[in-house]
Amino acid sequence: MGKFLGDAAVVSKKFVAESIFTLRVKIPQTRFTIEPGEFFEIKTSEEGNVFLRRPFSVSDVFDNEVEFMIDIVGRGTEILSEKKIGDKINILGPLGKGFDYRGDFDTAFIVSGGVGYAPFPLLFKKLRREGKKVVGIAGFATAEKIPRNLAEEFAVATDDGSRGFKGNAVEFARKKLAELRGEKNKIKGFACGPVPMLKAVRQFFQTEKIKAEISIESVMACGVGLCQGCAVERADKKGYWLVCKNGPVFDSSEVVL
Partner 1 sequence: MNSVNTEVTLGKLHLRNPVILASGTAGYGEEISEFVDLSEIGAIITKSVSLEPRAGNPPVRITETASGMLNAIGLANIGLERFVKEKIPLLEKLNATIICNIAASSFEEYAVCVKELDSVKSISAFEINVSCPNVKDGGLLFGNDVNAVRRITAMLRPLTEKPLIVKLSPNTTTIADFAAAVKEEGGDAVSAINTLVGTAFDIYSRKPKIKNITGGLSGPAIKPIALAKVLEISRAVDIPVIGLGGISDWRDAVEFMIAGASAVQVGTANFINPKVSMEILEGVKTFCAKQGIENISELTASYEL
Positions in the binding site for partner 1 (CB under 8 A):
2-3, 5, 43, 48-53, 92, 218-222, 224-233, 238-240, 245
CB nearer to partner 1: give 70 or 123. 70
Torsion angle, alpha carbons of 147, 251, 4, 7, to 10: 30
What is the DSSP secondary structure assignment for residue 116, as one 8-state letter?
Answer: G
CB 174 within 8 A of CB 118: no
Q: In what order do the strands lie in the sheet with 240-242?
A: 240-242, 231-234, 255-256
Least gap, CB of 245 to partner 1 (angstroms)? 8
CA distances from 73 to 8, 80, 177, 195 (A): 23, 11, 32, 15
CB nearer to partner 1: give 17 or 197. 197
SS3 53: coil
CB 111 within 8 A of CB 140: no
CB nearer to partner 1: give 171 or 233. 233
Least gap, CB of 46 to partner 1 (angstroms)? 10
Least gap, CB of 236 to partner 1 (angstroms)? 12
Least gap, CB of 218 to partner 1 (angstroms)? 7
Least gap, CB of 85 to partner 1 (angstroms)? 25
User: How far is Cα 216 from Cα 186, in angstroms, rounded to an integer?
Assistant: 24
CB nearer to partner 1: give 74 or 103. 74
Angle (CA) 100-201-233 rounded to 5° is 75
Least gap, CB of 9 to partner 1 (angstroms)? 19
CB nearer to partner 1: give 3 or 199. 3
Residues 6+ apart with CB under 8 A from 128: 134
Question: In 84-200, which ranges are E strands?
Answer: 88-95, 107-113, 133-140, 154-158, 165-166, 187-192
CB nearer to partner 1: give 134 or 231. 231
Alpha helix (H) residue ranges in 149-236: 169-181, 195-207
Least gap, CB of 44 to partner 1 (angstroms)? 11
CB 40 within 8 A of CB 119: no
CB nearer to partner 1: give 103 or 196. 196
